[in-house]
Each structure stands twice: as C-alpha cells, then as structure tokens.
Structure 1
Amino acid sequence: MNAIIALSIGLRLLGVGYSILLLARTRDRRFGFLTLLFSFMTLRQLLTVQTASTGLEELPGLVVSVLTLLTVYYLSEYVTEENALKTELRAVNERLRSFQKAIEHAGHAIFLTDSDGTIEYANPAVESVTGYDREEVIGETPRLWQSGKHGDDFYAELWGQITSGSVWEGELTNRRKSGELLWIDATIAPITEDGDVNRYVAIERDITERKEREMRIEDQNGRLTVLNNTNEVLRDINRELVAASTRDEIEATVCEQFASSDLFDVAWIGSRGLVDGTVSPHSWAGSDLGSLENHIEAMCNTDPTPVEQALEGQDPVFTDVEDDRLQTVGKKRCVVVPLAYQDAEYGVLGVVTSNPNAFDLIERDVFVELGQTIADAISAVESKQTLISNSVTELEFRLTGIDEPLANMAAQLDCTVTLEHVVDDGDEEQVQYVTVTEPDPEVVIEYAAEADFIDTIEHVYTHEEQALFQLSINERSVVTTFAQYGASIESFSITGTTGRLVAQVASSNDIRSVVNALRTTYDGLTLIAQREREQDIQTEAVFRKQLTAALTERQREAARTAHFSGFFDWPREHSGEEVASMMDISQTTFTQHLRAAEKKLFEALFDRTVAT
C-alpha cells in the first residue's frame, strides 16, 4: 500500500467520523448523506488497494477526498450560521407575535393606513371606540366617523403636519356608528422609508367620560359664578331695602343693583294701567326711558302678555327679547317677576340679560322670593308712611256686591254688619270684632258654622238690637287687602249688598296706584270721595299725656295704687279689698274707679282706627 492510497483512506475515514459527529450534533440530514458518501468512498478505496499498481492512479481519489472533507467543513459552518439565523428569526417572530397580541388586546383603537389615509389594518378596539367592526373600516378612511365639529382648516393643518414627517397629537370630536358624539385623544405618526412617508399609524383613546366630567365641572363653575353674582345682587338688594324709607327708594335701589351687576343689563319696575292694561315703567336703570318703553311695547305684543301671565299666575315668566331697541348687544332674555305680598300687587320687576343661560342657572323660586321680598318692603314702608305721616288722604268707597267675607254675611242674612276692630297676629287667620244688627245671635252663629271662610265665632254680648261677635277669618278680606296697600280703615259698614268704607293713606304714597289696585281686586268698589286731612302724630309721650288728662285724680290714684301693690300680678299680692283699704275707700268705689280708668285706656288703644 503506497502512501497516496493510505492518505486517501485516512481522509475518507476522517470524513466519515466528522460527518457522524456533525450529524449527531446538528441532526441535519445533509450530514447523514455525507456520512454515507464517505463510507462508500472508503469502501471503494479499500476494495481497490490490492488491484492498484501505482499510487499515481489514486491521486484523483485523494483530491476528491480532500474536496469532500472540505465540503463537510464548509457545510458545518453554513449549518451553524443557518441555525443562528433561525434562532434569531424565531426570536424576531416571537417579538412580532407579542407585539401583534399587544396591539390586538390594546384598549385603544390602533389602525394603519396607506399614504392616502385608506385603512389597511385595525385592531379590535376600533369597534369599542368607533362602533364599527374592524372589517367595516378596512378599506375606508377615518372620514367615516368624522362628526363635522372640526372645519376644513383644522384637518388641513393636521395633514400638513403628518405629511411633513411630524407626529400630530390632539383631541378630536368624532361620531360613533350609533350617531352619538365622542371625544378622543389621538396620536397620528407617519411611517417613513428612505425619507418618504408611505404609511400612517394612528392611536385613538376614548376620553368621552373625562370630557363630560370636565364639562360638568365647567358647568358647575359657571353655575357657581352666576349664583355668586346673583347672591351678591340679592344681598345688596336686601341690605338696601332695610335702609329704604319710601317706595321710590326701594324701586330705584332694586333696579340699580341689577343693572350694576355684570350678569344683568337692564332692570325696571312698572305696573299695568287699569283701563287698557298698558305697562308703564316708573323706575329703571341700564337704559333710557324711550328705549325701555319701546322694549316693553315689543315684549307685550303677545296675548297674554308676559306681564299679565306673571301677575295672574303669580309666577315669574321668562321670555326672549327680539327687538334691538335696548342699549344692549346681542340676543337678550328677560324675566318678569310679579311683586305681590299677601295677594296685594305692586307691579312687576323686569330684568334683561345678554347671557342666554343666566336665568337657566337661577332657580325660579329665587325670583319668586325676591318678588315677595320687594313687595313686602313696599307694603311695610307704605303702612309706616300712613301711620307716621302728618298729612293723610282719606278715601271713601261705596261697596256694591263685593265678594268679601263680611259683605257675604250681610247679603246672606240681609242685615247690617259693622267692623269694630281687627287683630292680626301675623298668622294666616285674622280675628275681627263685628257688630251685627237685627238677626238673633243664634242665626249668625248658625250661618258662621256653614261658612267656609269662618273658622270660629264667639258671641261676646248683645245690646239692644246689636250683637258683638268675635270672628276668626281664614281667607282674604277687604280689611287685609287695604292693609296690604298701606291703608288704615277708619270705618267699614255694609247693609245687605251695599256699604261704605273709609280709609286713610299717607299722602306721600302713590294714591292712584293704591286705588287702581283695590278697584282691580274688587269690582264692586267705587271711590266716591277723596279728602286731604292733617292728623296728629301720637308719640308715646303724647299718648301718656292725653291718657293722663283723660283720667280723673281718683282714677289715676286707683290705677297707680293697684299697679304698685301687685293687684295685677298673678297670683295677686293684694286683693281689691286690701287696695281699697290702702286708699281708705270702699271696695265698690275702688272697683268703679279702676274700671273707668281701664275703659279709657282701652278706648285710647283700640278706638283710634278700626284696622291698620
């Protein structure tokens, strides 16, 4: 065996071993094939050993062995690199699968578009955000769910930014498939290749709940601002009402406070005429008289007018102001508030604002209470003026068939009913002392038991043909109506269906408004006389002086001794007999003097006017 053959056989055996080793390590079938190849080549070389004459004949076989062994080596290197690439590819594919799962399970809508905006891919969350199935949106553009809330300039700026290669971030208002609006937080990024944009990826997050919460908070803040401004106006009005001493001051204060607020533009107070119902302002702020009159005329073109609705319904009326004659800008709203206190009307308050939502943020009851407060203040100052004024206007009325408790009693019993005194303790019910002529007391009591407006009746006494009763009246009467307008009743008597009433009103009050209001309340009331009179202002000192002058010396002594000896205390510290002994007179004489003094005191307290 020559060296060439031996070397060839060795190389082939090495190739078999090397191929088997690589096959075992890589499990690659290509090394199995090479193992068989080397095995057959080795077997052939062994079979030709005896027949080969020279080694030169086996030189090509040696070359083949070398080349085959080199093939195994390079194949092993290739397989190693191939396995490394496969491992890396599997890792990449695993990351891609994880990324795909993340996109598929993302709570945000994610979609890919081509350079024209046509959607090529959409994850399942697109359905929860837009309402469209992912199959419905593929092949469409995002214009499918545009709401129309953004203009062309908005989208032109958006496209300009992303086509330039920049990322766009912002909020969009879109419309779901169901038609409802939604707010999204969107990020749109371009995908570039070699510097050119060939795709876009968009991520949209539904922020509707957050936006609605923000809008609720903003709305609440707006409401708080309006309420704070309104409360400030109301506080200022209430503070000024306490200091006002006349009706003119009250009305001017209310109008000025509203007009000076940033929330309101114009305020006015007026009343409707008795004949044609025309509304005339008598106090205003924020506008000139001519413009205000034109505005009121335009506002009252409807039938019924807002003023009529407010006064008849005793509830605020809100209306649009469509004319441009007021000195304000833009569309305006107006509220007409009735000024009423215990069924007495003092006109209406009108407030105009350019804020279309101003009145929506203020509860209706606030205006109701405001109207009652203003009317109460007017009633109080007018009543006060009547009590303290030196100059009063005496009004005499004829009553014919009026609907009023005492008038109904006189008409039903065909008798004469005269009001003697009224006690008003602030409750809804009112106690009236009346004398009834001719009918037996039992007849009057029987009538009162059937009358809905009389809660209780008490027969006090009967003198000749007149019986005095104490009545508890539970509905509005002419007495309370006059008192509400600041008038004090001097006398009131009615026989059958006709009667006479005399009242006094301070001359400084608006006599015409009082008369018109009373005539509106009672159809059967007619003014037959109006007289100006001077009355004495009875201070406490004057009252004491007049009462002291009316009492005799013995009456003053009896009253003074009884007071200081505790005769009026309960239990009494001294009896009438003991007080009489102190005065060195009989108990009968003491009682006569004391009762005479008490009678004069009560006459001074109760006989000056019937009701105030």
Structure 2
Amino acid sequence: MEVTESIARAALDTLSSQIAVLDEEGHILFTNSSWGASGDGTAGAEADAEGFNYFDSVDPTEDDYAIEAVRGIRQVLDGECEEFTLEYPCHTPEGQSWFLMRATPFTIGDGNFATVAHIDITDRRLAELEAQDNARQAQQERQNLEHLVDRINGLVQDITQLLVESVSRDEIEHGVCERLADTDPYLFAWIGSAGISEERLRVRAAAGPADVDLDDETVALEADAPTPSARAFATGSGQIVSTVDGGSAVGRRYGDAGIEAVISVPIGNRESEYGVLTVCAGNPDAFDEREQIVLEALGRATANAIDALESKRTLTADRIVEMEFTVDDSTLLLNAASTELDCRFSYSGSVYGSNGALREFYTVEGCDPEVVRSFATEQEAVSDVTVLADHDDGCLLQLTISGSLVELLVDRGAVTKEITSEDGEMAFTVELSREADARALFELVADRYEGTELAGYHEHERPVQTRQEFRAGLEERLTDRQLTALRTAYYSGFFDWPRAVDGDELAAMMDISRSTFHQHLRVAERKLLDSFFERDRQ
C-alpha cells in the first residue's frame, strides 16, 4: 500500500495543475507539489495544506467564488452531482490570472472522497477578453457611424453586418468594396496593401461599374506621393482629391472612367495596419468632412474586424511568419565590438535575472576573452559583463545591456531564432504569429536604428508541435525559480565537460544558497525529462 501511495503522489507531482484530495468532511488528505502556488483557496503550500479543512478557509463575507466552490464540492461529496466546475479570477498586483476548479467524486469502501483540481486557464481567458474587446470596438464603430451620417445609414448597417458575419479577411475586403460601390454617389472602391518587403500597393479587392485600371500602383509609398492611396498608406491619415485633374497621376488612373473625386483612408487601428481603402465618386467635391469621418471610421471598423479574425486564427495558427533582417547601425554594442575587435558574436539565449534585467548570452569567436570583457565594461549601456567560459579563440559571454534590441524583440512577442554580429552588421531571424505583427515590429526597428534592411520574409506551416510550443508547455510546468536555475546553468556552461562554473557560482548569480539552487535545478531537470519523454511517446 505504501508503494501505491508513493506512486500516486509522484504521478500527481508531475502535473502542473494544483490537485488536492478531500475526505467527506472537507479535510485535505494530501496534495501535489503544485498546490498552493496561487488560486487554490487554501492557507498555504503543500506541506501546510495537508490536514487543513478546505471548507473552513472560506469567509462568507469576502469571497463569493469560494462560497460557490464549497457548495459545489459538498454536492459532489454528497453524491448530488457527478462533477462540479467553476471558473474564477485570481488576480495579483503583478497581473491577471484565471483558474478552472474541477471537483470529481470517488469512493473507497464506505468512504466518500473528492479530487479537487485548479487548472490555469489564463491564456484562454485573455484570448477571449481580447476577442470580446475587438468585438466591442467593432460595435462602437458601428454606433459612431450610425450617428454621423443618416444618409448612408443603410450602408453602415450592411457593412457592419458583413464585418460581424465574415469568416475571412478576403470576405471582409471584397464585401466592403461591393457595398460601397453599390451606394450612390460612389462608382468604384478598392483595397490595397503592401507586404513588408514591398514598397508598392497591390490590389486585394475591388468592385464597381467604373472601368478603372486595376494594375498594382507603381507609386512609392511616401507622404508626398502623387496618389491619395500611397499618401494614406504612408501617413496613416485620410487623403482627398476633390477634383480629379486629367493630367495628373490620379487623372491618368481614374479620369477615363468618369471619376471626379477620390478619397483614400487607412485600414488600421492603434495596434495593426492592413492597407488602404480607396473610394471613387462621379461628382466633384463628393467627399466633405462628414464623409471623410464616416469612411475613416469604416476603415477602423474594418481593421477591428480583421483583428478579431486574426486573434481567433492565432489561437489555432498552423502558419507562422519568419522574418530575417539586418541592422548595420554602429550605435549597437555588438556591431561596434565586432568592428573594433574583428570578431563574431552568435546569440545563445537569454534569461531574466531576479532584478528583472535581461541577461543575454553570446558565443564570441576570433578575440581574446579578456579583450572582449574589457571592451564591454567600458560601454555605458552595459551594466554587467561576465566571461562564463574560455575556449579556443573565443569565449561564452554574459551581458546585461540597457535598451537592448534583443529585449525589444522579446517584449514584442518575437521568437528569436538566430542573431549574429560580424563586421559591424547584426543579422536577425525571428518568428511571429501574424503578418501585421511582423510589419509593426520591422517598422519599429527601422525607425529606431539606421541601416535596417529586410533580408527575408516567409510564411510556413507550423509543425505538429514547434520548438516554441514544446518550450511553452515546459515553462508552464516550471516555477519561475526552476526555469531561471535551468537557464542560468545551461547558458553558463554548467552542463559542459569540464564545467565552466560550479554550483556555488550559479547560486550566487541567483542570490540563493547552494542547496536551494540544486533543489530548483534537480526539479527542473526532472520536469524537462518528463516533458521530453512524454513528447517522444506522442
């Protein structure tokens, strides 16, 4: 019996969910090692929880969720229901969290017992809230449009219904153009966009009776471009041509089709940019200030609808965006170092320290370690530098850099695949989940650093389980301390032979005792192996 209980406890300890077993009076018989992390409703961690009465922890004047949870667990123990579930918030000053509590009964002999599990559903709830927020924004834009112009109230309603019911971006874009072209006095509407590597607008959708030349625009996307569509894309604001001049670039494209006025508005919001909507009318001065407000709001509503679809797609994305770009800005530390020291830096990874600073690890080739360390120490942006391991013609270097470009990428949700710096130029390969995120990230880097060039852009199928997904699943099972111990040991060369550092040095880096460090590391290693072999079996 003792062996069986040990196996049961060990099995429960491999689960990231917080699990406790209660008797029919509500006493906690035992818990797994995850119990007490947060959201369990008990008085403490695993060791303190056993023997504690789960029901006595509830203050009926303070916590409605806990009252409902106790009521549901009692029903399970009394045989009134086969299962009880409850979703509840568990927010902290550091962030928002949600959990799903599930209680299920079982019997041993004449005794009634219940298993209570608390499962972290924060990612799902945040995604739902984001989708709801996008839906609310779309609804708000619909209300704004209805109050702005009664004349096109029917158009607004039709397009709003289209945005709500559409299931793809193509359906949204073609539907918007068709409904606009069917509304007097409009004769034609089209939507164009430009990929990250493109400097010209390409037509994505168009509709209308006017015979407009739909070849992709060859005009550069600049604020002073001769066409309103290019200017709207470059500036992010509406552009109007009140009267089409037959000798202008606008006249050459639209004049022969009977177009007398043109307006272009961006399809975008504060987070994303999806292109430009251009509407053509057969009357001069057809687009006054009120008309512009309505069409700009329509552009934002369209962007919000596309955002909502993109958010849903991201949750089950089977495609990812891979972007490669280079930066030869000499203000970047590694560019300056690779030029002056004639060496090469290769990114090995990063980990956040206990103080919240990002520690970056680089393999350096072609330079004496002491020379590299001395150079980095003299740089104002470097707050910490450590040579973790020497090897032939190079070293493993740990750097903490304020305003780091790597930290910018991490904050923007990019998964860094590869970074190198050689001869004064850094090369990056990153992955993101959405095209809009990739464009926004590239533009942010290009605005901040001179000499930023796009080198490659690809969309490809996500494997059955990507390395990122595997790592994310493992990180969910590890505590912050366990993950930090594992990363610090790995990047510091603790697992190399011979070892570059020992346990005392790593414990000092984390500001904990040697025994505590090894405890965190052993648990992390066990969870890593569990994840690896479980994945291998799947």
TM-score normalized by the length of structure 1: 0.38
Higher helix share: 1
TM-score normalized by the length of structure 2: 0.42
The structure whose Rg is larger is: 1
